Amino acid sequence: MNIIHTTTALAPEFGGPVRTVPALCHELAKLGHRVKLVYLDFGDTYQTIQLPTHSNLEYIELTVKFNIGLRPLYIPDYRSKVLEFASGKNDLVIHDNGVWLPYSGELLDIAQKTEAKMITTTRGMLEPWAMGYGRIRKNIAWNLYQKKRLMKNDLLHATSRNEKQNLRNLGLTQPIAVIPNGTEIPDLNEIPRSSGSGKRKVLFLSRIHPKKGLINLVQAIGLIKPENWEVHIAGYDEGGHQDIVQEAVNQAGLNDYFKFLGPIDDQDKWKLYRSVDLFILPSYSENFGMVIAEALAAEIPVITTKGTPWRDLVDYNCGWWVEPSVPELVESLQEAFSLNGAELNKMGVNGRRLVERNYSWSSIAEKMSEVYSWMLGNLEKTPDSIK
């Protein structure tokens, strides 16, 4: 097959898709498909991550001429470049990643002109919390063009059953494939466990954004004030939210409990995971939660919320899955803090088994490849992932 994936910039500030989209493209290329990944260049503002390479995978970088913050508004050669890649292919799938983007309409038009099949991964951007954040602007865009664009897709991709149901609740009726993201599974023999100070550590690693629930975490720690524990906050600050979190820490007198580490690059990420005892992502909403899978792959038990699709934490006894509220965070943290190192390590081993079984990139790419084949009419039986 010929597959065109499209996304925004491949810089760490743009969140989970920066790693999941190239990883999926790389695995699809390894399966023998001809893959092009089209992404945006914002100039010197954002630096592209190191990308995986394969002879069947080509990266196409297109320059953004005008943007507001992280939002591209004008990419002058987008249509002509993508149409150039798409023309003359009779087994083409165009796979867009994200919504609310100005070039999505161009992709639909190209798909219709070239008779390609069109699929969009909504990437959590239509989840209830996300729809409520900037609600007025999004409601206008949804009713003017976004819903119409998505309805013209041949298929949608959700990374969890909950996300699929939320797409149905918005009135989207076409087939939806439910396939989670994969995760890198590192060789832990090459990354031994380490510790710095004598205190035990809780890690938050993600964008520092209101959606992530860090204010709730500050309040929960303030109610517990655990002995011999500290919380490490790592990630890119988005929109100045770190200042708000830091002020909450200051006002609560919790500076001895919180350390802000700043952005962490890929080279140091796994060492950081392996230096902590517990991972937490107290988000209000995640379509997947890539860092949860990574923490489990590093044998670190996880606390997260029911705003994420991680019921597996309970089913596999590798963490806590709670409501995104201060009382439930307090309860789960207290339980975790009461466990000794051996008990937490056992939960971490359970988590590693979970991701090895269900979230390897090779198995995820095979499921996505099956979906593409079905879209192109090459399969008689509908894949189990399509609902």
CATH of domain 2-182+360-375: 3.40.50.2000
CATH superfamily for 188-358 is Glycogen Phosphorylase B; (3.40.50.2000)
Residue with the larger pLDDT of the pair 46 and 354:
354
Q: What tens digit of pLDDT does each residue of 276-302 get?
A: 999 999 999 998 999 999 999 999 999
Q: What is the pLDDT of residues 306-328, one digit of tens each?
A: 999 999 999 999 999 999 999 99
Return the pLDDT at 294: 96
Q: Which of 171, 131, 143, 173 is nearest to 155 (CA)?
A: 173
Backbone angles phi, psi at 386, to 5 degrees: -95, 125
pLDDT of residue 196: 63
**Mean of pLDDT values over 38-49:** 89
> Exposed, middle or buried: residue 140 (CB in 10 Å: 0-12, 13-18, 19+)?
exposed
Average pLDDT over residues 157-166: 95
Question: Whole-angstrom Cα distance, residue 314 to residue 221?
Answer: 22
Provide the pairing of β-strand 66-68 with 71-74: antiparallel
To the nearest whole number, what is the mean pLDDT of the chain?
A: 95
Q: What is the pLDDT of residue 192?
A: 86
- Give the up-direction half-sphere exposure of residue 221: CA atoms within 13 A in the CB hemisphere: 29
Angstrom distance (rounded) from CA 33 to CA 25 = 9
How high is the pLDDT of residue 367?
A: 97
pTM (predicted TM-score): 0.86
Query: In the predicted model, is pLDDT for residue 330 greater than 70?
Result: yes
CB neighbourhood size of 334 (10 A):
13
Domain ranges in the chain are 2-182+360-375, 188-358
Contacts within 8 Å (CB) and 24+ apart, 267-272: 269/205, 269/294, 270/186, 270/191, 270/298, 271/191, 271/194, 272/203, 272/205, 272/232, 272/234
**pLDDT of 69 over the 80 cut:** no
* In contact, 17 and 120? CB cutoff 8 Å: no
Are the C-beta atoms of residues 259 and 246 closer than 8 Å to each other? no
**pLDDT tens for residues 87-117?**
999 899 999 999 998 899 999 999 999 999 9
Q: Do domains 2-182+360-375 and 188-358 have the same CATH topology?
A: yes
Q: Return the pLDDT at 46.
A: 85
Per-residue pLDDT, averaged over 132-155, amounts to: 95
Note the pLDDT of residue 6.
97
Does position 44 have pLDDT exceeding 90, yes or no?
no
DSSP lists the bridge partners of residue 61 as 39
Of 198 and 63, more confident: 63
Q: Which two tokens stand for residue 160?
A: 């969890």
pLDDT score at 54: 98
